């Protein structure tokens, strides 16, 4: 039955100390409510047993992210949108930003909070495996003070936490020590958006001297609380990843989880998926290590070339000579992330004439020769990028050629799109939409496409 608002009270103190003293005066009598994405659902359904609520939404003490050199402290009242918009969270804690991005809908991300996700204590909560993998710590605050505990023990049983009456989570602390790790997050649900997971994985791994020197496998929806797969971790740690180890880790993970049958899935399916997700992670960890090995060899060689030679070698990745020379001047560059960051920064700052030079180095979509002669490497990459267009029916290709001409007539330059993975009809749709752009909008859209092409080509170059 629908709840009657007249039977409930809600107060909204303006500061955290007032909230805490209210909670201390009458322990257990007040239920905190932040963005309401869980509490209001129970309330609306008439299933909320608490009658007195205290709002902690938007309290400034809870809605800030504090950065020090060692750690970040995320206020418990930060929303998923806050996390997604935070540069350091995105860069250093990708497992958390991935989880934030697949939690609920945009509207729910604008209201749901990280602290709320923890206290609500669902075994399927999206953000919790990430917190386990990063070995987060929680700052718990009450009128009588603050304590710091590892998040790992916070959920003691299904929907039960260590939170004492009168206590709130103030912040979630993450150590800033994961730059050397490969991070992998995967959610298996019935649909992409807004689904409650059947199984989710947040995993971190690091390889040193050919063996896995650290691994964290954290899963949701496979036990009464989010869990680390300590058995599978133990089996992998200290070993070099080969197919035998992957096989063993898959079986261990599948046997180690304790899922249930429920409306979303079955025990058998969840166990099998748990094993498969661990195997998938290990395969990707191995591949990323091999890629990193190749990239560092390519970069080590490139770093010691003359500026001219270095610029010449990297030119096919973009097509602008100024860009290539600037890239060569940024050396030494030691890893993929740094070279991609340098690429973006230089590309952004180039004048329009250099952008246009890069555009001219590409063939028209559907053709194999660029307006100005470009390197053999660039032509090969163009061929790979336009692979799907080549598969299109002749009629579609003819329409595309016509649309290309219309574009060139309108903007006086060739149409640039990051074609990798796109079919001819998709490209046609994009072209038609962009024909409606005004000149400045279109120039920037083309430049963004060229930036994406450069990223893909740099990655290919690093593993040549």
Partner 1 sequence: MTNAPRARAKCEISFTVNGKPETVRAHPMARLLDVLRFDLGLTGTKEGCGEGECGSCSVLLDGALVNSCLIPALQATGTHILTIEGLAQDARAQLLQQSFLDCGGAQCGICTPGMILAAHHLLHKKSQPTLDEIREGLSGNLCRCTGYMQIFEAVADAASRGAST
According to CB under 8 A, which one of 21, 55, 377, 463 is a site residue for partner 1? 55
Distance CA 175, CA 172 (A): 10
Q: Give CA separation, 326 vs 322, 342, 352, in Å.
A: 6, 9, 16
Nearer to partner 1, 59 or 223 (CB): 59
Burial of 199 by CB count in 10 Å (0-12 exposed, 13-18 middle, 19+ buried)? buried
Q: Which of residues 91-130 bind partner 1 (CB under 8 A)?
A: 104-108, 110-111
Name the token pair of 12. 């909204």
According to CB under 8 A, which one of 15, 17, 28, 439 is a site residue for partner 1? 28
Conformational region of residue 2, where left means phi above 0, alpha means psi within -120 to 50, and beta covers everything else: beta
Nearer to partner 1, 53 or 140 (CB): 53
Q: How far is the CB of 40 from partner 1 (least distance, A)?
A: 4
Distance CA 228, CA 207 (A): 19
Tokens 């990239």: give the residue: 295
Own/partner pairs for 184-188, CB < 8 Å, 24+ apart?
A: 184/95, 184/280, 184/281, 184/284, 184/285, 185/94, 185/95, 185/98, 185/99, 185/129, 185/130, 186/277, 186/280, 186/281, 187/99, 187/102, 187/126, 188/273, 188/277
Binding map of partner 1 across residues 414-433, x = CB under 8 A, - = no contact: -------------------x
Size of the site for partner 1 (CB under 8 A): 47
Name the token pair of 221. 């929806």
According to CB under 8 A, which one of 19, 23, 53, 100 is a site residue for partner 1? 53
Q: Which of residues 74-93 bind partner 1 (CB under 8 A)?
A: 81
Name the token pair of 452. 């994406």
**DSSP H helical ranges for 304-437:** 307-314, 321-329, 336-349, 352-360, 376-385, 387-390, 394-411, 424-434
Binding map of partner 1 across residues 433-462, x = CB under 8 A, - = no contact: xx-xx---x---x-----------------
Strand pairing partners for 97? none
Residue 67: what are its φ and ψ, rounded to 5°? -115, 130
Nearer to partner 1, 51 or 147 (CB): 51
Nearer to partner 1, 26 or 308 (CB): 26
Question: Interface with partner 1 includes 47 (CB under 8 A)?
Answer: no
Question: Interface with partner 1 includes 35 (CB under 8 A)?
Answer: yes
Distance CA 239, CA 361 (A): 46
Q: Which of residues 359-398 bind partner 1 (CB under 8 A)?
A: none
Stretch that binds partner 1, among 48-56, 209-217, 321-329, 395-403 (CB under 8 A): 48-56
Helices (H) and strands (E) in the chain, counts: 20, 14
According to CB under 8 A, which one of 15, 44, 179, 368 is a site residue for partner 1? 44
According to CB under 8 A, which one of 194, 284, 377, 463 is a site residue for partner 1? 194
Nearer to partner 1, 3 or 139 (CB): 3
> By the 8 A CB rule, do 360 and 321 touch?
no
Question: Interface with partner 1 includes 164 (CB under 8 A)?
Answer: no
Nearer to partner 1, 112 or 363 (CB): 112
Q: How far is the CB of 250 from partner 1 (least distance, A)?
A: 31
Nearer to partner 1, 107 or 164 (CB): 107
Question: Interface with partner 1 includes 37 (CB under 8 A)?
Answer: yes
Nearer to partner 1, 12 or 251 (CB): 12
User: What is the signed CA dihedral for 269, 275, 277, 283, rounded to 10 degrees?
Assistant: -150
Question: Interface with partner 1 includes 357 (CB under 8 A)?
Answer: no
Q: How far is the CB of 169 from partner 1 (least distance, A)?
A: 19
Residue 9: what are its φ and ψ, rounded to 5°? -120, 150
Nearer to partner 1, 159 or 433 (CB): 433
Distance CA 400, CA 8 (A): 62
Q: Give CA separation, 175 vs 88, 155, 170, 172, 178, in Å.
A: 12, 20, 17, 10, 8
Question: Interface with partner 1 includes 49 (CB under 8 A)?
Answer: yes
Question: Interface with partner 1 includes 21 (CB under 8 A)?
Answer: no
Footprint of partner 1 (CB under 8 A): 3, 5-12, 26-29, 33, 35-37, 40-41, 43-45, 49-53, 55, 57-58, 81, 104-108, 110-111, 192-194, 433-434, 436-437, 441, 445
């Amino acid at each position: 039955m629908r709840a009657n608002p007249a039977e409930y009270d809600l107060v909204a103190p303006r500061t955290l100390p007032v909230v805490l003293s209210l909670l201390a005066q009458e322990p257990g009598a007040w239920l905190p409510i932040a963005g309401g994405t869980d509490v209001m659902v129970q309330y609306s359904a008439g299933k909320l047993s608490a009658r007195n609520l205290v709002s902690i939404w938007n309290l400034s003490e809870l809605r800030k992210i504090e950065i020090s050199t060692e750690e970040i402290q995320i206020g418990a009242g930060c929303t998923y949108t806050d996390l997604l918009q935070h540069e350091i969270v995105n860069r250093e804690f990708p497992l958390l930003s991935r989880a934030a991005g697949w939690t609920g809908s945009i509207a729910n991300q604008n209201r749901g909070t990280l602290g709320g996700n923890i206290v609500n204590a669902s075994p399927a909560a999206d953000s919790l495996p990430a917190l386990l993998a990063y070995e987060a710590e929680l700052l718990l605050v009450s009128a009588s003070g603050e304590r710091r505990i590892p998040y790992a023990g916070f959920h003691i049983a299904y929907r039960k936490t260590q939170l004492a009456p009168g206590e709130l989570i103030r912040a979630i602390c993450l150590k800033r020590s994961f730059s050397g790790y490969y991070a992998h997050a995967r959610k298996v649900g019935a649909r992409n958006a807004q689904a409650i997971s059947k199984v989710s994985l947040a995993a971190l791994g690091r390889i040193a001297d050919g063996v896995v020197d650290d691994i964290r496998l954290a899963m949701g929806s496979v036990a009464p609380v989010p869990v680390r797969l300590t058995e599978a971790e133990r089996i992998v740690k200290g070993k070099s990843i080969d197919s035998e180890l992957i096989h063993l880790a898959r079986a261990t993970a599948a046997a180690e989880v304790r899922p249930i049958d429920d409306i979303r899935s079955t025990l058998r399916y969840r166990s099998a998926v748990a094993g498969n997700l661990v195997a998938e992670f290990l395969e990707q960890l191995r591949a990323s290590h091999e890629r990193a090995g190749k990239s560092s060899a390519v970069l080590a060689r490139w770093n010691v070339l003359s500026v001219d030679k270095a610029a010449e070698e990297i030119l096919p990745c973009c097509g602008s000579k100024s860009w290539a020379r600037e890239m060569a001047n940024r050396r030494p560059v030691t890893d993929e992330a740094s070279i991609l960051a340098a690429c973006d920064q230089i590309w952004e700052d180039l004048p329009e004439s250099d952008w246009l030079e890069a555009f001219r180095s590409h063939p028209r979509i559907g053709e194999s020769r660029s307006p100005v002669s470009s390197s053999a490497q660039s032509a090969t990459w163009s061929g790979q990028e336009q692979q799907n267009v080549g598969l299109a029916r002749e009629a579609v290709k003819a329409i595309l050629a016509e649309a290309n001409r219309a574009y060139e007539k309108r903007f006086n330059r060739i149409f640039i799109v990051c074609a990798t993975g796109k079919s001819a009809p998709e490209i046609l749709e994009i072209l038609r939409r962009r024909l409606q752009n005004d000149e400045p909008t279109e120039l920037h859209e083309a430049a963004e496409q060229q930036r994406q092409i450069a990223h893909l080509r740099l990655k290919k170059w690093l593993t040549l």
